[in-house]
């Protein structure tokens, strides 16, 4: 007659049952929420353990392997297992800790052997077929619902000599075995198994009573009300901090506009103050948000250590970043001092010293960037290493990380090539900030030399960014010294070229004797004579060797003087009229 309940139920009833099941799944069924899925009752090896209750990797101390046993995520006792010597069939420390935690969790945490999907499927099946007997709600769940003071932990010595700890509950006739005190536990603590069991007895009894107390529905409701009140207070303060940050940002933008209009120098100091205050307010908002998340986690019993970890980890990460920032600041200062000493060396010629001072600007900027990048990478590595799951990673994870880095190196090989080329540019002194260079068909003033690219400001004030590995030919017009050819085209109507050359020579001597221009010349102007002749006229060439970057100004001034002198001496310059008349 098992099919009768199925025939009595109609299709609308089944539909309502299915809808109710979906509603229970969305709202969170009490049995499912109170008892996570996949737990193994009494063993502690199931997947229902919260992250705070997860046993960490065992610690080896001499001849013993240690593992912590937690109650509500807080370590209660430390069990041991021998590493060397006779072990027999004794489990290792981590396995013992898992089993003991499972036994203890039965006394304060509701446990269900079914997953959420199994619980809902069984509930739907019972709605369709009828019946009340549930496999997903066994009697072991009732162990955690008793009065906290009714739990008593006692120690008992077996006939074989082993000392065990047991829990006695008023609603259960038989005691619940919790753990056996082994020889390794007693040897590690330097006492007898009976005395160690007495110490653990008092500790476990007080901790378990507290765990049962905080797991009661009334205590949970009170805990949630307090957390909700704190969350509301934090939400209000976070909103106020965010509004202050927005207001400070608007004020800073107004000060920046005033500074661009040239109001005064005092506004710049106030702008820096607003910037610092904005950074402090932003960090305060982030910290308040992190505290809100941590309080939400602490609302769940047993997750207090995880909530504290969420608060401590950002603070520790900030402290580590500050420490690496101080190290980077010290490295930047040391690099700047050493480069200053290198540039100001008196053992090098004046020209080389000027070039070193020019190179120093490029080297200081690049070295500061490299120091900042290295400090940031070290800070990130330091933060990651202190994460327990990363710290306990096996060698296979490290090998996988190395393989990942190798793959990234292949993907970003262009960046690595640019980095190598940038280091070669700096070490070989191909150019520096302030040089006028020609790179890959572009010509301009070098405004920034990085390890990946070079920025040029062209003559039309556009900024061109050139990758360091994208060119193989560089023309530097201003390295150490500069030179330029000044060409003067004399007309064919000039019947005395020697007189024209003598006039050019006298003007060159006058140009060299001028105090305003002689300081820019590294050598006397060289009259090369007639360098070419053509249909337009006779080309007279002069070579100027100047201080780096002064060749264009000297060339313009000398050309102006020569044209004026030729006009006074009535020496005709080529103007193309005779070529036009021939046509």
Burial per residue of 3-40, b for 16 or more beta-carbon CB atoms within 10 angstroms, e otherwise:
eeeeeeeeeeeeeebeeebeebeeeebebbebbbbebb
What average pLDDT values come out for the chain (583 residues) when binned by 10 residues?
Answer: 39 47 41 33 37 55 86 90 68 87 86 79 83 67 72 90 90 87 89 92 92 87 92 93 89 72 58 80 88 89 85 84 90 90 76 77 88 89 72 60 73 78 80 85 86 86 86 82 87 87 90 88 88 86 87 90 90 69 46
Per-residue CA distances from 288 to 245, 247, 349, 477 (Å): 14, 18, 60, 57
| Residue indicated by tokens 């390295």 | 479
- Contact at 8 Å (CB) between 283 and 290? no
- Contact at 8 Å (CB) between 468 and 530? no
pLDDT value at residue 206: 93
pLDDT value at residue 141: 52
Taking the CB of residue 176, how many other CB atoms lie within 10 A of it?
Answer: 18
pLDDT value at residue 87: 55
Best CA proximity match to 208, nearest among 387, 74, 57: 74
| Residue indicated by tokens 């050359």 | 501
Burial per residue of 496-518, b for 16 or more beta-carbon CB atoms within 10 angstroms, e otherwise:
ebeebeebbeebbeebeeeeebe
Helix (H, G, I), strand (E, B) or coil at 47: coil
- Domains of the chain in sequence order: 4-214 (no CATH), 302-392 (no CATH), 408-476 (2.30.30.60), 481-582 (3.30.70.100)
pLDDT value at residue 207: 92
pLDDT value at residue 41: 31
Q: What angle do CA 99, 104, 105 make, to 5 degrees?
A: 95
pLDDT value at residue 10: 43
- Contact at 8 Å (CB) between 546 and 554? yes
**pTM metric for this prediction:** 0.59
| One-character DSSP codes across 357-375 | HHHHHHHHHHHHHHHHHHH
pLDDT value at residue 194: 93
Best CA proximity match to 78, nearest among 48, 58, 62: 58
- Residues pairing with 467 in the sheet: 453
Instruction: State how beta strands 163-168 and 176-181 pair.
Output: antiparallel
């Amino acid at each position: 007659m098992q099919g009768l309940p199925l025939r009595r139920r109609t299709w609308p009833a089944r539909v309502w049952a299915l809808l109710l099941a979906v509603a229970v799944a969305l709202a969170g069924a009490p049995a499912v929420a109170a008892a996570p899925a996949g737990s193994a009752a009494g063993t502690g090896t199931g997947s229902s353990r919260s992250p705070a209750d997860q046993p960490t990797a065992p610690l080896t101390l001499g001849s013993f392997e240690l593992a912590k046993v937690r109650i509500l995520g807080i370590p209660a006792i430390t069990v041991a297992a021998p590493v060397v010597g006779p072990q027999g069939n004794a489990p290792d420390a981590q396995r013992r800790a898992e089993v003991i935690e499972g036994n203890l969790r039965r006394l304060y945490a509701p446990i269900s052997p079914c997953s959420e999907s199994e619980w809902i499927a069984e509930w739907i099946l019972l709605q369709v077929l009828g019946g009340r007997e549930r496999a997903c709600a066994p009697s072991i769940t009732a162990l955690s619902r008793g009065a906290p003071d009714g739990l008593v932990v006692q120690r008992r010595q077996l006939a074989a000599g082993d000392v065990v700890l047991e829990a006695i509950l008023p609603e259960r006739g038989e005691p619940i075995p919790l753990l056996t005190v082994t020889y390794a536990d007693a040897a590690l603590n330097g006492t007898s198994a009976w005395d160690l069991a007495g110490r653990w007895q008092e500790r476990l009894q007080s901790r378990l009573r507290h765990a049962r107390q905080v797991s009661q529905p009334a205590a949970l409701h009170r805990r949630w009300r307090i957390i909700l009140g704190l969350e509301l207070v934090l939400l209000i303060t976070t909103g106020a901090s965010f509004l202050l940050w927005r207001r400070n940002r608007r004020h800073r933008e107004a000060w920046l506009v005033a500074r661009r209009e040239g109001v005064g120098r005092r506004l710049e100091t106030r702008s820096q103050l607003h910037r610092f205050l904005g950074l402090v307010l932003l960090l305060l908002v982030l910290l308040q948000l992190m505290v809100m998340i941590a309080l939400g986690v602490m609302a769940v019993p047993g997750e207090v250590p995880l909530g504290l970890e969420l608060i401590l980890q950002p603070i520790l990460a900030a402290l580590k970043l500050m420490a690496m920032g101080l190290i980077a600041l010290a490295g930047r200062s040391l690099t700047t001092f050493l480069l200053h000493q290198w540039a100001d060396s008196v053992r090098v010629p004046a020209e080389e010293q000027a070039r070193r001072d020019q190179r120093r600007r490029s080297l200081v900027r690049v070295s500061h960037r490299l120091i900042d990048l290295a400090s940031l990478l070290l800070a990130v590595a330091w933060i990651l290493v202190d994460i327990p799951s990363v710290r306990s990673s096996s060698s296979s994870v490290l090998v996988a990380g190395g393989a990942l880095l190798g793959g990234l190196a292949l993907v970003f090989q262009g960046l690595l090539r640019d980095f190598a080329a940038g280091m070669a540019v700096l070490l070989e002194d191909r150019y520096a900030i302030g040089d006028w260079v020609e790179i890959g068909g572009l010509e301009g003033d070098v405004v920034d030399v990085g390890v990946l690219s070079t920025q040029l400001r062209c003559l039309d004030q556009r900024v061109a960014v050139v990758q360091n590995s994208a060119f193989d030919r560089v023309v530097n017009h201003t390295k150490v010294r500069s030179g330029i050819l000044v060409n003067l085209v004399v007309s064919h109507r000039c019947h005395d070229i020697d007189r024209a050359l003598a006039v050019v020579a006298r003007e060159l001597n006058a140009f060299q004797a001028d105090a305003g221009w002689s300081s820019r010349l590294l050598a006397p102007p060289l009259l090369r004579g007639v360098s070419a002749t053509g249909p337009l006229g006779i080309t007279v060439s002069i070579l100027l060797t100047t201080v780096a970057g002064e060749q264009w100004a000297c060339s313009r001034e000398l050309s102006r003087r020569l044209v004026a002198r030729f006009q006074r001496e009535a020496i005709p310059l080529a103007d193309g009229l005779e070529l036009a008349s021939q046509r």
